[in-house]
Amino acid sequence: MIESKEILLKSRPKGPPRPEDFAIVTRELSEPADGEFLIRNIWMSVDPYMRGRMRAGKSYVAPFELGEPLQGGAVGEVMHSRHPDFEEGQLVLHDKGWREFLLSDGAGVTRLPPTGAPSELYLGLLGMPGMTAYFGLFDVGALQDGDTVFVSGAAGAVGSTVCQLAKIKSCRVVASCGSDEKAKWLTQDIGVDAVINYRDCEDLGAALAAAAPDGVDVFFDNVGGEHLEAALLNMRQFGRIVECGMISEYNLTGEPPVIRYLINTIIKQLKIEGFIVGRYQARWPEAMKVMMEWYHQGLLNSRSTVYEGIERAPEAMIGLFEGHNTGKMLVNLCSQSNLGIEVEFI
Ligand code: NDP
């Protein structure tokens, strides 16, 4: 028998998630039977879309069940295997985070390729957030070399990747984020051309006009609300607005805000398109190949904010909505793991 701590959803949050919406329990797992193997989770991903799954009702992913462990991207190590395709010591990627151990028959589990990249990058830069940035910017946003790009939520996992991809394509990048410390990282390490700290800004539209005096070709939106309005005021003719996320609305309890200035979609002949990264699943290998090349050439920088211990996973989730992460928000479940990237422990 193995004891595994797991995080359950105790109640559906009303407004921002609170510690009391989660519970931690210990479950006993039996030894693997024939055709099964045991995974010890090392890293788990904490993502804004999980907030949507805490609501009852249909969305593009099924809701979490009350009293059941939460789920989400995780990297783990095979500890004990009675499965022909998974040997002990193998690092794997799967979608059953929020628990220390997982007994698996292999469904939904993939082996991490031996690329030399730190395993946690498969939850960030080289994982779902990286793919979101890649397809959102190049496919949905139809980025052209030299475009002016405005990125909201720019210091997060998706946003910081978008900024770097746009810089690789010789674009001028204007980034928005929520603190001076994040602004410094975006300027010094990520290489953006201008930053707006939206928390310290009375008029986002005017600040964007000053940072992008000739207008914006592509707006990559992770936030919605005032950021979308500011972009609508500053887009160039035939600009593209990529609706990736609207995190400013995820914890709302009342009616969503009215978005003004939509008339600019006509006046400036804009294209505005929302997308879900799963649409591009079949093309992930193509994007991974390119991203891996850029990573090995040193063109892609990555940073993570790491909460240590499964007990702190709810705190990490709550922290996403308070801007506590710079780069990817992760929970480290196993302190012996090899940390290969720049991390900030909390
Ligand atoms: P991030 O790493 O960007 O983390 C969330 C960040 O959002 C926080 O650090 C905070 O940064 C910012 N934020 C939180 N609340 C607010 C608010 N009320 N107003 C403005 N900013 C806020 O998360 P991800 O990179 O994982 O995700 C970014 C966006 O992309 C999310 O909206 C997510 O839902 C979306 N997404 C969409 C996908 C798709 O397929 N369409 C796939 C993956 C993600 P700060 O301090 O700067 O405010």
Q: According to CATH, what is the number of the domain 2-124+302-345? A: 3.90.180.10
pTM: 0.96
H/E run at residue 168: helix 157-168
- Contact 141/218 with Cβ under 8 angstroms? yes
User: CA distances (Å), 297 to each of 11, 259, 294, in order?
Assistant: 46, 41, 5
Could you tell me what percent of the chain has a pLDDT over 90?
A: 93
H/E run at residue 28: strand 22-29
Report the atom number in ligand 1 closest to the C-alpha of 324: 9
CA 306 – CA 326 distance, rounded (Å) = 10
pLDDT of residue 335: 65
Angle in degrees, CA 107, 111, 115, rounded to 5: 160
CA 9 – CA 68 distance, rounded (Å) = 6
State in Å: Cα 156 to ligand 1 middle: 6
- Contact 313/306 with Cβ under 8 angstroms? no
Domain boundaries, the chain: 2-124+302-345, 128-278
> Token digits for 180?
């001076």
pLDDT of residue 57: 85
SS3 328: strand
Q: Would you say domain 128-278 falls under CATH 3.40.50.2000?
A: no
SS3 252: coil
Provide the residue count of the chain.
346
- Contact 300/123 with Cβ under 8 angstroms? no
CA 219 – CA 10 distance, rounded (Å) = 37
Mutate to test the pocket of ligand 1, among 135, 181, 247 (most ligand atoms within 8 A of CB): 247
10-residue mean pLDDT series, the chain (346 residues): 95 97 96 96 97 90 94 96 96 97 97 93 98 98 98 98 98 98 98 98 97 98 98 98 98 95 98 98 97 97 96 97 98 67 55
Is residue 159 lining ligand 1, measured as CB closer than 6 Å?
Answer: yes
Max CA separation in the chain (angstroms) = 66
CB atoms within 10 A of CB 116: 9
Q: What is the DSSP letter of 125?
A: T
Pairing of strands 148-151, 172-177: parallel
DSSP characters over 78-104: EEEE-BTTB-TT-EEEESB-SBSEEEE
Is residue 132 lining ligand 1, measured as CB closer than 6 Å?
Answer: yes
Is residue 127 lining ligand 1, measured as CB closer than 6 Å?
Answer: no
Whole-angstrom Cα Rg for the chain: 20
User: CA distances (Å), 6 to each of 55, 288, 328, in order?
Assistant: 20, 31, 22
pLDDT of residue 334: 86
State in Å: Cα 157 to ligand 1 middle: 8
Same fold, 2-124+302-345 and 128-278: no
Q: Dihedral through CA 134, CA 140, CA 145, CA 147, nearest 10?
A: -110
- Single-letter amino acid, residue 277: V
Is residue 196 lining ligand 1, measured as CB closer than 6 Å?
Answer: no
> Token digits for 260?
């003004």
Closest Cα to atom 9, ligand 1: which residue? 323
- Contact 234/209 with Cβ under 8 angstroms? yes
CA 97 – CA 71 distance, rounded (Å) = 5
- Single-letter amino acid, residue 20: E
Residues in contact with 225: Cβ distance below 8 Å, sequence separation at least 6, in sequence order: 246, 248, 249, 257, 259
Is residue 222 lining ligand 1, measured as CB closer than 6 Å?
Answer: yes
CA 219 – CA 216 distance, rounded (Å) = 7
